[in-house]
Structure 1
Amino acid sequence: MEDTTLRMVYIFTDIILPMIAGYVAKRRSWLTPDQSNWLIRFNIIVIMTSLTLLSFWVLPMRTDLLSLPFFAFFNGLLPLAVVLLLGRQRKFSSFVDRGSYLIAAIPANTGMLGGLCSYILYGEMSYAYVQIIGVFQNLLMFFVLFPMGYYYQHGGKDRNFFVFFKDNWKSIFINWNQLSVVALVIGTALHAAGIPRPAAGTTIFQALIHVSAWVALIPVGYLIDFSHFKDYARQTLDLIPIKMVLTPLASYFLALCFTSDPVLLGTIVIVMATPCAINALITERLYDLNVNLAMAPFITTQLLYILILYPAFYLLVSWGYLPFK
């Protein structure tokens, strides 16, 4: 119980507090947009790469882990399919707003928030599982979000994205943001070769997790903008049951076909319930869509996940009411 209490404290110190700090830093002009962007890149390139290397160095590869790339795509494409099937985007009269809403429904905050929450509940192995999902979910941004952003930016008339992709594929896939993929390969190779990770690796990993939480979530808090929240909050509430109830439930029953490992199953549920992601805001800003519309579900789902959904799941698992331990 003492360990449970300590880890629950991490939800405040490593999730809620850094987001509040980022929001306050923006309001007080303590942090500039360039400095916020630097923190994002530093976390992706340096800290997450280090964490990925350390976690995969001790991760035994199993056949049931081969299902994780599938869940990376399922996590984004199922909400998109449900929204399109129900025609929920038609509530917006503007073509640009429809595209903004659809894009907001796709990505989830898996690698950053999902990785931290999985580590708090299950430890280092769970974090490594999340990074497998995160690596493949990055492809959604390039193959789904960016084409959709381009399509809705041009009114659906110009479909030359594939020409753009052909001319720029190297810069898309070969850049510093993909360094974690290299770390994944190196870590897996070191484990396969039987090279033991240094004893200090565990201590370093545990320290970097807390550093990563602050470096990653300060920019998230910095991006939060309530100025147009009331304009779109009610219209985007329907994304909550789709992304945070339907998606994890469907993923859980599908995962039972691949594994019976309670830690892997619990990790999948945690990740598949994660809130709307910053990738939607980045895409909409890049393609001049309605960032304010995407900001509303970003805020509501973050608050719901951090304050209610994840703490409830953590306590139910820790107290033995859910079979994910």
Structure 2
Amino acid sequence: MDTVNLRLLFVLTDLIAPLAVGYVLHQRHIVSDESVNRLIRFNVIFVYTLLSLLSFWVLPISWSLLAIPLFGFLLVLIPGGIGTFFFARRLDSWLDRGAYIASAMLANLGTLGGVCAFILYAEQGFAYTQIIGTCQNILLVLIVFPLAQYCYMKHTHSLRKTNRFHSFCELFFSWNQQSLVGMAAGLCLNAFGVPRPAALAPVFQGLVHLAAWIAMLPVGFLIDFHQVRQYEKKVRSITLIRFLITPGLFSLLIFNLVGDPVVRGTLLICAFCPTAINAVLTARLYHLSTDLSVASFVITTAAFLPVIFPVLFFFLH
């Protein structure tokens, strides 16, 4: 079995297994919500910062890199626009609309997309997904959060009196953005020609597994299948957006504008990525319909892991 085919096992060991473990931990009340929140914070602040540093340290610098941030922004704006103007309006509740829009806009790029790109393209593919994920994080603060707050205000018919500048600083300039420092440090070392020690390659691979487990386990912890079934009909159109409309539009752009095969394949993986856990966190933060976001995450992820990604793997491999 070659290296790429061996890495395909990571779908089972690094994505499906932690989801199952998280679900069991929640059902048996083995760990608390606070412990899970600390685990998420450790992953975002520490593990992803190291991964960003190590992957950007050896990232090949080329003109193709310029296309990645553009696609990163479009991967949020286009499905979000389609979901907002064609599907979310059909929902009666503003809380459902807000959760729907967040679920349509946010894809699981950093964790799921990162592992899938790593399976096919090793560290280079993982680094590209982190650039795209950073673009999504910027729009999370600048567009998704304000839209979520607007939907909540429409539901309550009230205005929240907050210090917007202070809120923006807390959201954007926080420890949760620490991985940006890792990216910048890695790019600087790369640009100045500092070679990355060979001993750090297995460290990087170990951190990819650790990050995937820490990211996916809390998701399994949040799953409530009863609520998923209740919202299944409302999120069918998100499945259409995630796996048909968005990949169809982006495939035309990717194959016509991107020449580098690794960049092209990574972007294609990201175009198919399911709903992100950040959609659930956004719904929680702004008191929207969290169960709708969870349903979207569970259903699209359940379609992506056993069906969509294996097809992409054999197409791109």
Q: Would the TM-score normalized by the shorter structure come out above 0.5?
A: yes
Q: Which residue of 2 aligns with 1:185?
A: 184
Q: Which residue of 2 aligns with 1:304?
A: 303
Q: Which stretch shows the higher mean deviation, 166-175 or 281-290? A: 166-175
Q: Is the contact between residue 108 and residue 274 of structure 1 (CA under 8 Å) also seen in structure 2? A: yes
Q: Which residue of 2 aligns with 1:13?
A: 13
Q: Which residue of 2 aligns with 1:176?
A: 175
TM-score normalised to structure 2 length: 0.94
Q: Is the contact between residue 252 and residue 265 of structure 1 (CA under 8 Å) also seen in structure 2? A: no
Alpha-carbon RMSD: 1.7
Q: Which residue of 2 aligns with 1:33?
A: 33
What SS does the aligned partner of 1:245 have? helix
Unaligned runs of 5+ in 1: 319-325
Q: Is the contact between residue 4 and residue 119 of structure 2 (CA under 8 Å) also seen in structure 1? A: no
Q: Which residue of 2 aligns with 1:255?
A: 254
TM-score normalised to structure 1 length: 0.92
| Cα distance in 1, alignment partners of residues 71 and 251 from structure 2 | 10
Q: Which residue of 2 aligns with 1:106?
A: 105
Q: Which residue of 2 aligns with 1:321?
A: none
What SS does the aligned partner of 2:314 have? helix
| Cα distance in 2, alignment partners of residues 151 and 164 from structure 1 | 16
Q: Which residue of 2 aligns with 1:271?
A: 270
Q: Which has the higher helix share?
A: 2
TM-fit CA distance, 1:160: 6.7
Unaligned runs of 5+ in 2: none
| Cα distance in 2, alignment partners of residues 2 and 108 from structure 1 | 30
TM-fit CA distance, 1:181: 0.5
| Cα distance in 2, alignment partners of residues 307 and 313 from structure 1 | 11
| Cα distance in 2, alignment partners of residues 51 and 5 from structure 1 | 22
Q: Is the contact between residue 26 and residue 221 of structure 2 (CA under 8 Å) also seen in structure 1? A: yes
Aligned positions, number: 316
Give the residue type in structure 2 aligned to 1:81: G
Q: Is the contact between residue 119 and residue 127 of structure 1 (CA under 8 Å) also seen in structure 2? A: yes
Q: Which residue of 2 aligns with 1:132?
A: 131
Sort the Cα spacing of 1:4 and 1:123 in 2 relative to 1 into closer, same or farther, 3 A.
closer
Task: Find runs of 4+ consecutive structure 1 residues off by over 4 angstroms.
Answer: 156-161
Q: Which residue of 1 aligns with 2:217?
A: 218
| Cα distance in 1, alignment partners of residues 193 and 11 from structure 2 | 35
Correspondences of 1:192-231 after superposition (within 5 Å):
192-231=191-230
TM-fit CA distance, 1:92: 1.8
| Cα distance in 1, alignment partners of residues 197 and 5 from structure 2 | 29
Q: Which residue of 2 aligns with 1:56?
A: 56
Identity %: 38
